[in-house]
Amino acid sequence: MKRREAITELGDALRTLAEHATTTEMPAGDLLRAAAELREIAARLGERSRGRSTLPSADDLLGGVRMYNPVTGGGSALAPPLRIEVVAGVAIGRCTLGLAFEGPPRFAHGGVSAMLLDQILGHAVVASGNPGMTVRLDTVYRAPVPLLTPLRLTAEVRHVDGRRVTATGTIATEAEPGTTLVSASGTFVGLRADQTRRLFGPVLQTEA
Protein backbone atom coordinates (compact mmCIF):
# COMPACT_ATOMS: atom_id res chain seq x y z
CA MET A 1 0.00 0.00 0.00
CA LYS A 2 1.50 3.28 -1.18
CA ARG A 3 0.39 5.36 1.80
CA ARG A 4 1.87 2.91 4.33
CA GLU A 5 5.21 3.14 2.52
CA ALA A 6 5.02 6.93 2.63
CA ILE A 7 4.17 6.82 6.35
CA THR A 8 7.21 4.61 6.99
CA GLU A 9 9.40 6.93 4.91
CA LEU A 10 8.24 9.93 7.00
CA GLY A 11 8.72 7.90 10.19
CA ASP A 12 12.29 7.06 9.12
CA ALA A 13 13.06 10.72 8.47
CA LEU A 14 11.58 11.71 11.85
CA ARG A 15 13.63 9.09 13.69
CA THR A 16 16.81 10.28 11.97
CA LEU A 17 15.83 13.83 12.91
CA ALA A 18 15.27 12.85 16.57
CA GLU A 19 18.65 11.10 16.68
CA HIS A 20 20.51 14.02 15.07
CA ALA A 21 18.65 16.53 17.26
CA THR A 22 19.86 14.52 20.26
CA THR A 23 23.49 14.22 19.18
CA THR A 24 24.07 17.55 17.40
CA GLU A 25 26.63 20.01 18.73
CA MET A 26 25.77 22.73 16.18
CA PRO A 27 25.66 26.34 17.45
CA ALA A 28 22.47 28.08 18.67
CA GLY A 29 21.81 29.91 15.37
CA ASP A 30 21.61 26.64 13.43
CA LEU A 31 19.30 25.13 16.03
CA LEU A 32 16.92 28.13 15.85
CA ARG A 33 16.85 28.01 12.03
CA ALA A 34 16.10 24.29 12.14
CA ALA A 35 13.33 24.85 14.69
CA ALA A 36 11.65 27.46 12.47
CA GLU A 37 11.80 25.20 9.40
CA LEU A 38 10.44 22.24 11.37
CA ARG A 39 7.53 24.30 12.72
CA GLU A 40 6.52 25.05 9.10
CA ILE A 41 6.56 21.36 8.21
CA ALA A 42 4.59 20.50 11.38
CA ALA A 43 1.92 23.07 10.49
CA ARG A 44 1.57 21.56 7.00
CA LEU A 45 1.13 18.01 8.36
CA GLY A 46 -1.40 19.28 10.91
CA GLU A 47 -3.73 20.66 8.22
CA ARG A 48 -5.51 17.29 8.02
CA SER A 49 -5.44 15.22 11.20
CA ARG A 50 -7.49 12.82 13.34
CA GLY A 51 -8.64 12.89 16.96
CA ARG A 52 -8.14 10.24 19.65
CA SER A 53 -11.32 8.29 18.85
CA THR A 54 -10.50 7.81 15.16
CA LEU A 55 -8.08 5.11 14.03
CA PRO A 56 -5.38 6.03 11.52
CA SER A 57 -6.77 5.28 8.04
CA ALA A 58 -3.64 3.22 7.26
CA ASP A 59 -4.13 0.94 10.28
CA ASP A 60 -5.74 -2.48 10.36
CA LEU A 61 -6.48 -2.94 14.08
CA LEU A 62 -7.78 -6.50 13.97
CA GLY A 63 -5.08 -7.50 11.46
CA GLY A 64 -2.46 -6.15 13.90
CA VAL A 65 -1.24 -3.24 11.75
CA ARG A 66 -0.59 -0.19 13.96
CA MET A 67 1.52 2.26 11.98
CA TYR A 68 2.08 4.68 14.88
CA ASN A 69 2.62 2.26 17.75
CA PRO A 70 5.37 3.97 19.80
CA VAL A 71 7.38 0.72 20.03
CA THR A 72 6.88 -1.05 16.69
CA GLY A 73 5.25 1.50 14.38
CA GLY A 74 7.11 2.33 11.16
CA GLY A 75 5.41 5.74 11.16
CA SER A 76 6.25 6.62 14.76
CA ALA A 77 8.89 9.24 15.47
CA LEU A 78 9.29 7.64 18.92
CA ALA A 79 9.60 3.93 18.04
CA PRO A 80 13.10 2.35 17.80
CA PRO A 81 11.25 0.58 15.95
CA LEU A 82 11.19 -2.92 17.45
CA ARG A 83 10.68 -5.63 14.78
CA ILE A 84 8.86 -8.69 16.14
CA GLU A 85 8.19 -12.12 14.67
CA VAL A 86 6.49 -14.98 16.45
CA VAL A 87 8.00 -18.44 15.85
CA ALA A 88 6.34 -21.46 17.48
CA GLY A 89 4.74 -19.30 20.18
CA VAL A 90 7.96 -17.44 21.03
CA ALA A 91 8.10 -13.75 20.14
CA ILE A 92 11.55 -12.67 18.92
CA GLY A 93 12.29 -8.95 18.71
CA ARG A 94 15.15 -7.01 17.21
CA CYS A 95 16.10 -3.36 17.47
CA THR A 96 18.99 -0.97 18.02
CA LEU A 97 18.48 1.95 20.39
CA GLY A 98 20.01 5.30 19.45
CA LEU A 99 21.16 8.06 21.77
CA ALA A 100 17.61 9.46 21.88
CA PHE A 101 16.86 6.55 24.27
CA GLU A 102 19.73 7.27 26.65
CA GLY A 103 19.19 7.11 30.41
CA PRO A 104 22.53 6.64 32.17
CA PRO A 105 25.33 7.78 29.80
CA ARG A 106 26.00 5.09 27.11
CA PHE A 107 22.99 3.00 28.15
CA ALA A 108 19.21 2.81 27.61
CA HIS A 109 16.69 4.47 29.91
CA GLY A 110 15.09 1.85 32.18
CA GLY A 111 11.59 2.92 31.13
CA VAL A 112 12.50 2.22 27.51
CA SER A 113 13.50 -1.35 28.41
CA ALA A 114 10.15 -1.80 30.22
CA MET A 115 8.33 -0.40 27.17
CA LEU A 116 10.06 -2.84 24.80
CA LEU A 117 9.27 -5.76 27.12
CA ASP A 118 5.61 -4.76 27.57
CA GLN A 119 5.22 -4.74 23.81
CA ILE A 120 6.93 -8.06 23.09
CA LEU A 121 5.12 -9.78 25.96
CA GLY A 122 1.89 -8.44 24.45
CA HIS A 123 2.74 -10.01 21.10
CA ALA A 124 3.35 -13.41 22.71
CA VAL A 125 0.03 -13.05 24.55
CA VAL A 126 -1.88 -12.15 21.35
CA ALA A 127 -0.19 -15.03 19.49
CA SER A 128 -1.41 -17.43 22.19
CA GLY A 129 -4.98 -16.53 21.24
CA ASN A 130 -5.77 -14.76 24.53
CA PRO A 131 -5.39 -11.02 23.80
CA GLY A 132 -5.53 -8.74 26.81
CA MET A 133 -4.26 -5.57 28.42
CA THR A 134 -1.25 -5.36 30.71
CA VAL A 135 -2.34 -5.14 34.36
CA ARG A 136 1.09 -5.80 35.84
CA LEU A 137 4.70 -5.68 34.62
CA ASP A 138 7.64 -6.66 36.85
CA THR A 139 11.03 -5.71 35.44
CA VAL A 140 14.42 -6.90 36.71
CA TYR A 141 17.43 -4.85 35.56
CA ARG A 142 20.46 -7.15 35.74
CA ALA A 143 22.88 -5.19 33.56
CA PRO A 144 22.60 -1.91 31.61
CA VAL A 145 21.36 -2.14 28.01
CA PRO A 146 23.98 -0.68 25.63
CA LEU A 147 22.97 1.93 23.02
CA LEU A 148 23.94 1.62 19.33
CA THR A 149 24.14 -2.16 19.76
CA PRO A 150 21.85 -4.68 18.04
CA LEU A 151 19.49 -6.13 20.66
CA ARG A 152 17.55 -9.38 20.76
CA LEU A 153 14.37 -9.75 22.80
CA THR A 154 12.29 -12.83 23.48
CA ALA A 155 8.91 -13.44 25.11
CA GLU A 156 6.58 -16.34 25.69
CA VAL A 157 3.38 -17.16 27.51
CA ARG A 158 3.88 -19.20 30.69
CA HIS A 159 0.38 -19.59 32.08
CA VAL A 160 -3.26 -19.05 31.11
CA ASP A 161 -5.78 -18.87 33.96
CA GLY A 162 -9.20 -17.87 32.67
CA ARG A 163 -8.93 -14.25 31.52
CA ARG A 164 -5.50 -13.87 33.12
CA VAL A 165 -2.35 -14.63 31.12
CA THR A 166 1.23 -14.56 32.43
CA ALA A 167 4.17 -14.07 30.06
CA THR A 168 7.90 -13.61 30.57
CA GLY A 169 10.55 -11.99 28.41
CA THR A 170 14.18 -10.91 28.18
CA ILE A 171 16.46 -8.34 26.58
CA ALA A 172 19.97 -9.38 25.50
CA THR A 173 22.41 -8.28 22.81
CA GLU A 174 22.51 -10.07 19.44
CA ALA A 175 26.19 -10.77 20.14
CA GLU A 176 25.49 -12.48 23.49
CA PRO A 177 21.90 -13.74 23.33
CA GLY A 178 22.47 -16.03 26.34
CA THR A 179 23.28 -13.16 28.71
CA THR A 180 20.06 -11.59 30.00
CA LEU A 181 20.35 -7.85 30.64
CA VAL A 182 16.71 -7.23 31.60
CA SER A 183 13.95 -9.71 32.29
CA ALA A 184 10.26 -9.15 32.86
CA SER A 185 7.14 -10.98 33.88
CA GLY A 186 3.77 -9.56 32.92
CA THR A 187 0.13 -10.26 33.67
CA PHE A 188 -2.42 -9.57 30.94
CA VAL A 189 -6.20 -9.60 31.35
CA GLY A 190 -8.69 -10.31 28.56
CA LEU A 191 -11.52 -7.80 28.46
CA ARG A 192 -15.17 -8.60 29.05
CA ALA A 193 -17.53 -7.30 26.34
CA ASP A 194 -18.68 -4.43 28.60
CA GLN A 195 -15.05 -3.41 29.27
CA THR A 196 -14.23 -3.47 25.54
CA ARG A 197 -17.28 -1.24 24.88
CA ARG A 198 -16.40 1.19 27.69
CA LEU A 199 -12.74 1.57 26.67
CA PHE A 200 -12.79 1.17 22.89
CA GLY A 201 -16.45 1.73 21.91
CA PRO A 202 -15.94 5.07 20.15
CA VAL A 203 -13.03 3.69 18.10
CA LEU A 204 -14.80 0.46 17.13
CA GLN A 205 -17.89 2.44 16.07
CA THR A 206 -15.94 4.64 13.64
CA GLU A 207 -14.25 1.48 12.34
CA ALA A 208 -17.53 -0.25 11.42
Ligand X SMILES: CCCCC/C=C\C/C=C\C/C=C\C/C=C\CCCC(=O)SCCNC(=O)CCNC(=O)[C@H](O)C(C)(C)COP(=O)(O)OP(=O)(O)OC[C@H]1O[C@@H](n2cnc3c(N)ncnc32)[C@H](O)[C@@H]1OP(=O)(O)O
Ranges of beta strands (E only) in the chain are 83-87, 90-95, 133-141, 151-161, 164-173, 182-189
Of 99 and 191, the one with the shorter C-beta distance to ligand X is 191
Nearest residue to ligand X, by Cβ distance, number only: 122
Of 70 and 144, the one with the shorter C-beta distance to ligand X is 70
Question: Does residue 190 contact residue 145 with C-beta atoms inside 8 Å?
Answer: no
Sequence-ordered list of residues with C-beta below 8 angstroms from that of 26, at least 6 positions apart, any chain: none
Candidate residues 123, 153, 171, 182; the one interacting with ligand X per rule CB under 6 A? 123
Of 20 and 94, the one with the shorter C-beta distance to ligand X is 94
Candidate residues 14, 17, 34, 126; the one interacting with ligand X per rule CB under 6 A? 126
CA distances from 150 to 6, 38, 47, 98, 174 (A): 26, 30, 37, 10, 6
Under the binding rule (CB under 6 A), the answer on residue 139 touching ligand X is no
* Contacting residues toward ligand X, per CB under 6 A: 61-62, 64, 118-119, 122-123, 126, 131-136, 162-164, 187, 189, 191, 195
